[in-house]
A and B are shown apart, each in its own frame.
Chain A
């Protein structure tokens, strides 16, 4: 209902159901899969097995021969990287570069604290933020290649204490902080990151 109410210009129709063959097969060009959501106190190992069955079935559904074009697949649900690996492994006919785990949420999470640090910069002025690794607390938000205002190296990269004690752990643990605050995984920011991710994947990006 709320998706309808957003009046998204690119949302042509909504279908719901529990038959992956019927629903995964038809989606073009970018199925966005979420899995069993992480709740407070739930460990990643619990998620691995809870989501495993979901992504083996959905991956296999992508193999349907009636697809007109190969899919592009974005996996936002945690453990996103490994869920994407499971789906990819179960869809061997789909090119591997068409699977992607969503780290755009981490990317967006890193831009806020970097921009608020003096000299402050609006989010639109920060470019080339980088996230390496797993979508988990081990991820590495890398500000060393970032630029402010079209090419300036942010001075905060020289503040080692801030990087190690504030910026990096804040971004790494943001998901857990959201769960702690609201008792459930991020929703609005994750949905917004899905839009950003698919938009830039399909249409190119502006450097952010």
Chain B
């Protein structure tokens, strides 16, 4: 597991971040699987993802995304 690269978090339709692993091949990367996420972490991750959703909705209303 490693976390060097920003990850496109699609569940919110926005660009969030989850741990990812960059391979030594022209920018390919993959998401780290199987991490234990306890309630303490989960609550904070969910709060930030919710904020991303609000930003996405705001720019959609402005007509900046489809």
Question: Which residues of A approach B to under 8 Å, CB–CB?
Answer: 29-30, 44-45, 48-49, 52, 55-56, 72, 74, 79-82, 84-86, 88-90, 96-104, 107, 127-136, 138-140, 142, 144-145, 168, 196-197, 200-205, 207-208
Contact = CB atoms under 8 A, between A and B. Distances in A.
A55, A72, A82, most chain B CB atoms within 10 A: A82
Contacts, number: 155
B22 A201 contact: yes
Q: DSSP class of B's interface residues: helix, strand, loop or mixed?
A: loop
Interface range on chain B: under 10, 10 to 19, 20 to 34, or 35 or more? 35 or more
Contacts of B58: 45, 48, 82
A98 to B, nearest CB: 7
24 contacts: A48-B58, A80-B15, A81-B17, A85-B59, A86-B59, A86-B64, A89-B65, A89-B66, A102-B6, A103-B17, A104-B6, A132-B48, A133-B16, A133-B49, A140-B48, A144-B41, A145-B35, A197-B5, A201-B22, A201-B27, A203-B22, A205-B21, A205-B22, A207-B2
Given A86-B65, A133-B45, A204-B23, A97 B59 contact: no
B48 A82 contact: no
Contacts of A82: 14-15, 52, 55-56, 58-59
Interface string B24-41: 101101000001101001
Contacts of B8: 88, 96-97, 99-100
Contacts of A29: 26-27
A85 B2 contact: no
Contacts of A128: 1-3, 19
Contacts of A74: 6
Contact of B22 (A30, A56, A130, A204): A204
A197 B17 contact: no
Contacts of B62: 48-49, 52
A81 B49 CA distance: 11
